[in-house]
Amino acid sequence: MQLDGYQRLEAYRRMLRIRRFEEEGMRQFKDDKIPGWFHTAVGQEAAIVGACLALRDDDGITGTHRSHGHPIGKGAHLDALMAELMGKEGGVCKGRGGSMHFADNSVGIISESGIVGGGIPLATGCAFSAKLRGVDQVTLCFFGDGAVNQGTFHESLNMASLWKLPVIYLCENNGYAMTTSVAQSHGQPDIALRAPGYGMPGATVDGQSVGAVYEAAAAAVTRARAGEGPTLIVANTYRFDEHNFGLVIPGEPYRSVEEVEAHKRARDPILLYRTVLLEEGINEKSLIAIEDEVTKAVKQAVKFALDNPMPQPETLSDYMFNSPLQVITTSRLGWRGINRHGTDAQKLAATPTPHIQMTYLEALVQAQMEEMDRDERVVLMGEDISVHGGAKLIERFGKKRIWNMPISEGSFTGLGIGAAINGLRPIVDLSGASFVYLASDQIINQASKLRYMTGGQIHIPIVFRCCMFSVGSEAAQHADRPYPFFMNVPGLKIISPTSAADIKGLMKSAIRDGDPVLVFEDARLWALKGDVPTDPDHVIPIGKADVKREGRDVTLLAIAGAIRPTMEAVDALTEENISVEVIDPRTLKPLDHAAIKMSIAKTGRLVIVENGHRVCNVGSEIAAVMAEEAFDLLKRPILRLSAPDIHVPFSPSLENDFFPTKDHIIAAVRRLL
């Protein structure tokens, strides 16, 4: 398949638009009009444009930190791109992304990533969503030769091959990962040979020939649309500029001036293609007209950007969340024709309904089941799902809705994020909470940041379920309480309910929410029974604490699994005629400051109990906020009970008193009184 008549001239136009845009960007960078870093795609235009021309308008793209060329190659307007480089309000990402993070949903650019290999799982997830929704949309994933050594590359290719996902992986092999050559970093420098190991075709093409790249990409797109799965294309190209324009690299040059100049003379993709077009009989006047048109468009883009205002400080928090406390409650939605950026009406409290007794784990499973019945966009993915309460879900919904993942936590988390961007509402079950560290790159650098960095262009409605093990003697690598780790990350909501009714209501809210939500459940609560509303629309608002018991003398604030020894302590203290109020925050981020302050106003004393390590835990945050906002209400200093700043031991004799116990809590209350 070759470029047709229109595409031949369009290929020249788009390559030239990339080149002139980058050249003008370098001038503006030198004049201090562009802040930050500036990575150009000069020399790599053919690899970009050839691949993009093989796509439809509704096909998606993920890219790299060398991000300017991809949206231009897909057909984006230059004005908003140049404004983004300058950090202006009219930038394509409202000045939130900048040079390395262009995204333009109007032409299908899902995201570009400053994290090497970060976009590969996202592209895989977008393709996963397309396959599940029954549309013939294809996703094209650009990455460099350095990303081939990342785990995300290998894990994603394995999953794409396993499920025959409609994704094309295109490696822009410019020979160097910053200053490290392919020869220095690849045991097998022929990157395309990795493809057969994952059961997919691999092709190496001349990345300086737009026609050669187009032919390979068009064949891969045809294959993907036919349901035959992914393809790996390696386009051997060359970047003419330094890795980062303006970057001075000390020491011995990693490539010689002669090498660079030789490529510029003999392998400039634009000059090569111009010669091809003239040899094929294209009138030179047509090419000159395109050149003039591109020059004017770039000048107009610069004018637009320079005239555009900077974002105002009062807009700093714009685009952080789809809606900070909105809970979505639409009825069942069709599988096709999904409005992937839509939100639904707010419903923050359920009507009174009959209750039934069930365990915490049963309520959690029930919440997922009801939401999967309600909305066909909800899918569940994770490792060994049947082990953590998923057997009933597998039996009910089957393989199209329940996905057992390979042990690739980082990449299947990224796959879930990409699927959320492209129309699904995934629940990613990370099994043991300690495994969330492996997924943290994708959660932090992609899920939490992309909405903000794209200026609100994308939404990521996704739930990460993390079970905090606590059956005993699991040792440090399985017994962590990692929730404080994520408290410092903007863009995430974090819940940790402690009752059966609360896990059902908050899990449903999390699934319906328009933003990433982490659910940390304590396994020692799984067997606890309680009354749970039967109403399928029983939802509890994210961000609202609950008073588990009212009292007048002391406020006990218990987090997650600490609720059990706390309630035991309260029962004992009641016999001593000590009246204790128990607050369960339920949501750790955002915290319900008002509810905590209201309780302190009543009791004047606060003890915070949690199983997280002492340094920088949730109790630290609550104590700091209450010292700032409720100091005049406190009769005594705030006390915090927590695990010590030591890893969880294996031996029962060391573990028995590791987390706060009933006796610890009673002693703390007596001390305050």
Q: Judging by DSSP bridges, how do beta strands 202-206 and 109-112 pair with one another?
A: unpaired
Which of these, 107, 116, 121, lies nearest to 73 by C-alpha position?
107
Which of these, 355, 349, 357, 371, lies nearest to 546 by C-alpha position?
349
Which of these, 259, 109, 120, lies nearest to 181 by C-alpha position?
259
Q: From the CB of residue 598, how many other CB atoms can be counted at a distance below 10 Å?
A: 17
Amino acid identity for residue 27 in this structure: R
Which residues have a Cβ under 8 Å from the Cβ of 374 and sit 6 or more positions away? Answer: 331, 332, 536
- What count of residues does the chain have? 673
CA 46 to chain centre: 30
Q: Which two tokens stand for residue 379?
A: 């899918």
Cα-atom radius of gyration of the chain, to the nearest Å?
28
Of 77, 355, 478, 664, catalytic:
478
Bridge partners for 403 per DSSP: 381
- Decide if 595 contacts 628 (C-beta within 8 A): no
Alpha helices in 422-533 (DSSP H): 436-442, 450-453, 483-487, 500-512
Q: Which two tokens stand for residue 446?
A: 């992609």
Q: Which two tokens stand for residue 255?
A: 């490539």
Q: 203-227 in b/e burial notation, b at 16+ Cβ within 10 A?
A: bbbbbbbbbbbbbbbbbbbebbeee
**Could you tell me what percentage of the chain is helix, strand and coil, using 3-state DSSP and rounding each to the nearest 5?**
45, 15, 40
What one-character DSSP code corresponds to residue 328? Answer: B
Please tell me the distance from the alpha carbon of residue 428 to that of residue 444, in angstroms, as a whole number.
15
Active site residue 478: yes
- Decide if 265 contacts 257 (C-beta within 8 A): no
Please tell me the distance from the alpha carbon of residue 227 to that of residue 356, in angstroms, as a whole number.
46
Q: From the CB of residue 20, how many other CB atoms can be counted at a distance below 10 Å?
A: 20
Q: Is the dihedral of CA 545, 440, 617, 389 positive or negative?
A: positive
Please tell me the distance from the alpha carbon of residue 560 to that of residue 347, in angstroms, as a whole number.
25
- Decide if 537 contacts 371 (C-beta within 8 A): no
The helix or strand, by DSSP H or E, that contains position 287, with its residue range, turns out to be helix 284-307
The helix or strand, by DSSP H or E, that contains position 210, with its residue range, turns out to be helix 210-225
Q: Which residue in the block uniquely carries the two structure tokens 């160097």?
A: 176
Please tell me the distance from the alpha carbon of residue 165 to that of residue 223, in angstroms, as a whole number.
10
The helix or strand, by DSSP H or E, that contains position 378, with its residue range, turns out to be strand 378-382
Amino acid identity for residue 387 in this structure: V
Would you name the residues annotated as active-site residues? 478
